[in-house]
Structure 1
């Protein structure tokens, strides 16, 4: 877990790394997702379609899913996103995305938000929090992966 994770309610620095004891069995259904590059650090991704996937609820008060679900949402500016939340909740290290018909929901926290890069995918966000009742009219907030690239690469002992 990131050392400065805010546990007091607004989910700042909501990022963690899990180390697997063995490599997952790759297949046509299981593939690695790339991290953004350092060249992407200043990209807001605003207006880009992105895929969110997870096993969360598809409607409020339902159960989590046994089959991985996915949907397309669109990245919006933090300025626009801030209009939906209390002041100070949406910070620079977050990004927001939504679509009027669909949303991340309870049980999707920690799931990847990815953009298509021409045949492969790049993870730009991690589901952090969203509106009560999973209302698709209100954006979901994601941890902005580019804000944590240095920490990720250092933690994973990756070459910069």
Structure 2
């Protein structure tokens, strides 16, 4: 089984990775695909940049930096994983990666959006994945004290 694990570099991402590790320690045989999705460069950034490839390189570097702590956690646990940095709309990029990497499940967290923000963002990424994913999406509840790092 291959599990896609979206990572944004926050302690909540580590919480979700620890949950996936707990599943594996309980007997689930799986490998993980760590995914970070970066926002693409704006039209203005592309037009005014002297070297547009530097913008893409900076996004890739930022994504790899955000994946680092989760990757270290998995390496320390001896768990096989791959990592990918993508660009674009997070929900759509994750949906594309599910198919490209033949993932069997997504494990991700949820975050509370207010009704106005949910409407402006066309729903949260987790909501959009639950509605559109071809594979099961397991939503991990944030820790009780979601404001403090663990």
What TM-score do the two structures reach when normalised by structure 1? Answer: 0.24
Larger helix share, 1 or 2: 2
What TM-score do the two structures reach when normalised by structure 2? Answer: 0.25
Q: Comparing both chains, which one has the higher relative contact order based on Cα–Cα distances under 8 Å and sequence gaps of 6 or more?
A: 2
Larger strand share, 1 or 2: 1
